[in-house]
Structure 1
Amino acid sequence: MKDGASFESYVHFVYQSILNLRGERIQVSKNTKFRISERESYEIDIYYEFLHAGVRHRVAIECKDWNKPVDQGQVLLFHQKIKNIGDELVGVFISRKGYQSGAIEVGDRHGILMLKEQDLPTLGQLLGQRILAAFIPEENCMGEPFWYIAVLDKREQAPDGDFYAFPESFPVKLPLFISKKHAEDYLEFLPNKNELKVYGMPQYKLRGFLASALLRNMPIGLVIDPPEADGKLLLHATDAESINRDFLMEPIIRPAASKGLHRWLAMLRRNRR
């Protein structure tokens, strides 16, 4: 990074990526100006805000791309700046070259999160986090609107990103359930049920699933009814393109190539074992 502007741009990219891993749509802005009065205004390097449980959270980030450690005076100036803007503003200070003696203590005393460049995730880590968020099942996710059966790693008993799929002879590749209970009822009929688990597919995971399914023109079976007494499913045959159009709130454009995505997924699955 050659100058302060490029460092700010990287920090902006990092926070924009982390805060929106699950499609939260939190807007992270650069060089945001706050006008306090006719003669008083302040500029914040990186700024974002979001609502959680009805409470607005506001965060200001100061970036220093200096060739020397930051001193206490700069930390105090930043503290005064955010105090003048508003008491509820949370401060984060990021320095490429670290801090002089006492600077971190000053920041801690005023509730400022003091970070160094090495505290930020790398581009590879960010991409890995995005892929994991999109493809790896997570507990407590609600189906929006689908539920699915995931394969568990035999040693870790944790999902590895693979879906339960029908045999190759089936006209559809895998089932997507409208009801969690129907999925759990069907799971009880499977001989390897201890190696499987039902998970919800929120919109951001549906988007990740479709990014791969569209590449393969994957045939999918929608399950609307409970399994029959013998465990058979009444499948409504459809495809990834139809689900993309009819169920994804913001349909995605069909990707052009799949090699890079599949390589990343394979690598992440190996690393989790």
Structure 2
Amino acid sequence: MNQRKEWEEYQIKVSEVLAEFGFATEVEEAIEGARGRHEVDVTARIRYAGVDQLWIVECKRWKRPVPKERVLAFASIIDDVGADRGLIFAEGGFQAGAVRASRNSSITLTNLTDFISNSANELSSIKVSGLTRRIAELENRFHSIWDLDAAERTRVNSRYIGPESFGLKQPIAVMACLSMLKNSLEAASFNRWPVPYRPLVLQQDFAV
């Protein structure tokens, strides 16, 4: 029987940890990017707030710290495949240049112990990202109403079943709700609690 190598065991462990938090994972998946094909150590997919998220993961079971060049190369892969986030798991740590290269980016540098303890924050980040995208999509759909001619705009408005504005069923109320949502998300991201919210109960989705 062939025994797995340490780096293979490490990939599997990382995959299992991500799966425990609700991700659909795959080890050593080949992903087509805009500029070529990439062999990814672990892929992790999840759906939050109606938005599909793809994380790609590199697993470095090294005894030495990961250098900056490895982080920059990984950033290029993230961009090429259109991943939402990249994680590098490394038990040997990271060089100072690697840490600097990951700042203000979608790359998280971690190890198994730290990721497990901080995973709640990571998953919250996904949810906020998904909600932010949905808000932007709804805003675009709302603004598209005003590109319609008067007759079509009247027809669309007649189908509106969303929240009320000053007791009237008007689509403009959607913008007020979206503005509140954006403010609440911003407050939550900066850990400013309590966060106001407005629950909505709709009979069906509003569609333009």
- With structure 1 as the length reference, what TM-score do the two structures score? 0.39
Report the structure, 1 or 2, having the larger strand content: 1
